[in-house]
């Protein structure tokens, strides 16, 4: 554990009392230099990063559940192997991200506790169910596709450990995205039943994927400060537009219909126009009323509770070993 526990309490006052520190910090950020764990940073910057990195870590861990749901039912051995590797990557991403958050002076145990008590959020997209095999394709194509849009700019985030974790994560995510698209391609070139399955998955995942970029810029409370700190590089609406522009032609290539009657290409702007997002649904899912909020958290809680005796045993054994070594 670093000494940030102490720093953290001091940062707030230090920022007000020592404007020169704040100025030097902002200069560094503006010059695109990385902020490292031992550097001075404003308390709010630290808090924002802990919130964002831990939400991201929790999303990886909770995200294992909807996809893990199809590991035992994958249709071929090759698909089973790819899905296993993908979900394993997500566990790995969760590990790096918890480690990145730990450099800010908070332990993994505390963060997991915040997830289980509902104090910390995770990406709402994982509160939607995976009902058919096509959902595994749609998640890779749309959900990982949207995540990449969000995450590529994070590779240049001002906080060094987060930026470095994101470089590796983005490489793996883009592999996942291609795998998901390939599942959709196979289904859309398959039997009528498979095509229906693919269309149904697109119908259910399209809007929740657009919601992944967060509220519109006018309603996003963190955007301006995060951009000044170079934690964020593009606004929610900019990223959402980019996603739609990239994804609509991919849907057309699959011969699938994007479930938005207002979707049209605007020759003048060079962008797609799309319909109004149902923000009421977004806020309801965020509040805990999504189709699977309860199941997801219960599954995490169950794994945590049922693993308690295992973790205790491992700790007890390590203690015994240490005592034996000391006595020898």
Partner 1 sequence: MTEATNNEQLFEYVVRIADNALVTGQRLGEWVGHGPELEEDLALANFALDYIGQARALYTYAGEIEGAGRSEDDLAFLRDSHEFRNVLLVEQPNGDFAQTIARQFLFEAYYLRLLDALASSNDERLAAIAARAVKEIRYHLRHTRQWVIRLGDGTGESQRRMQDAIDRLWQYTGEMCTADDIDSWAAESGIGPVPESLRDDWNAFVDDALSEATLARPGNEWMASGGKEGRHTEHHGYLLAEMQFLQRAYPNSTW
Q: What is the binding site for partner 1 (CB under 8 A)?
A: 61, 64-65, 68, 71-81, 84-85, 87-88, 91-92, 94-95, 98, 133, 183, 186-187, 189-191, 193-194, 299, 302-303, 306-314, 316-317, 320
Q: How far is the CB of 326 from partner 1 (least distance, A)?
A: 17
Q: How far is the CB of 242 from partner 1 (least distance, A)?
A: 31
Q: How far is the CB of 65 from partner 1 (least distance, A)?
A: 5
What are the backbone dihedrals phi and psi of residue 119, each rounded to the nearest 5 degrees, phi first?
Answer: -75, -35
> What burial letters (b/e) apply to 169-205, b meaning 16+ CB within 10 Å?
bbebbbbbbebbbebbbbbbeeeeebbebbbbbbebb
How far, in Å, CA of 244 to CA of 263, rounded? 10
- Nearest residue (CB) to partner 1, 149 versus 198: 198
- Nearest residue (CB) to partner 1, 7 versus 60: 60
Q: How far is the CB of 182 from partner 1 (least distance, A)?
A: 10
- Nearest residue (CB) to partner 1, 79 versus 232: 79
Long-range pairs of 37-45 with CB within 8 A, sequence gap ≥ 24: 37/2, 37/4, 37/103, 37/104, 37/160, 37/161, 38/2, 40/7, 40/11, 40/14, 41/11, 42/11, 42/12, 42/15, 43/8, 43/11, 43/12, 43/15, 44/225, 45/229, 45/231
| Spatial CB neighbours of 150, under 8 Å, sequence gap ≥ 6 | 212, 213, 239
- Nearest residue (CB) to partner 1, 25 versus 133: 133
What's 142's DSSP letter? I
How far, in Å, CA of 141 to CA of 301, rounded? 29
List 309's β-bridge partners, or say none: none
- Nearest residue (CB) to partner 1, 35 versus 53: 53
- Nearest residue (CB) to partner 1, 165 versus 210: 165
Helix, strand, coil percent content, the chain, rounded in steps of 5: 75, 0, 25
Q: How far is the CB of 101 from partner 1 (least distance, A)?
A: 13
- Nearest residue (CB) to partner 1, 126 versus 213: 126
Q: How far is the CB of 194 from partner 1 (least distance, A)?
A: 6
Tokens of 325: 């070594």
Q: How far is the CB of 154 from partner 1 (least distance, A)?
A: 21
Q: How far is the CB of 238 from partner 1 (least distance, A)?
A: 33
Residues in the chain: 328
- Nearest residue (CB) to partner 1, 198 versus 212: 198
């Amino acid at each position: 554990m670093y000494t940030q526990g102490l720093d953290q309490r001091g940062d707030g006052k230090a920022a007000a009392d020592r404007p020169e520190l704040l100025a030097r910090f902002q200069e560094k950020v503006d010059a695109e230099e990385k902020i490292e764990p031992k550097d001075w940073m404003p308390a709010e910057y630290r808090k924002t990063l802990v919130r964002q990195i831990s939400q991201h870590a929790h999303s990886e861990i909770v995200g294992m559940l909807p996809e893990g749901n199809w590991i035992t039912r994958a249709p071929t051995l090759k698909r089973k192997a790819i899905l296993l590797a993908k979900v394993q990557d997500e566990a790995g991403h969760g590990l790096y991200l918890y480690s990145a958050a730990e450099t800010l002076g908070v332990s993994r145990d505390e963060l997991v506790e915040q997830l289980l008590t509902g104090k910390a959020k995770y990406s709402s997209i994982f509160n939607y169910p995976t009902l058919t095999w096509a959902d595994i394709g749609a998640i890779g194509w749309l959900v990982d596709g949207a995540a990449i849009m969000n995450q590529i700019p994070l590779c240049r985030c001002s906080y060094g450990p987060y930026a470095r974790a994101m470089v590796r994560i983005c490489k793996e995510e883009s592999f996942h995205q291609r795998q998901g698209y390939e599942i959709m391609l196979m289904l859309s070139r398959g039997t009528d039943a498979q095509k229906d399955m693919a269309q149904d998955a697109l119908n259910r995942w399209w809007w929740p994927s657009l919601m992944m970029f967060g509220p519109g810029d006018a309603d996003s409370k963190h955007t301006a400060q995060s951009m000044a700190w170079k934690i964020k590089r593009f606004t929610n609406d900019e990223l959402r537009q980019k996603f739609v522009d990239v994804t609509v032609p991919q849907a057309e290539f699959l011969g699938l219909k994007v479930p938005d009657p207002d979707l049209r290409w605007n020759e003048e702007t060079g962008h797609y126009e799309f319909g109004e997002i149902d923000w009421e649904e977004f806020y309801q899912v965020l509040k805990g009323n999504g189709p699977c909020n309860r199941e997801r958290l219960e599954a995490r809680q169950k794994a945590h509770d049922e693993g308690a005796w295992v973790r205790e045993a491992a700790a007890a054994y390590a203690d015994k070993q240490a005592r034996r070594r000391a006595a020898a």
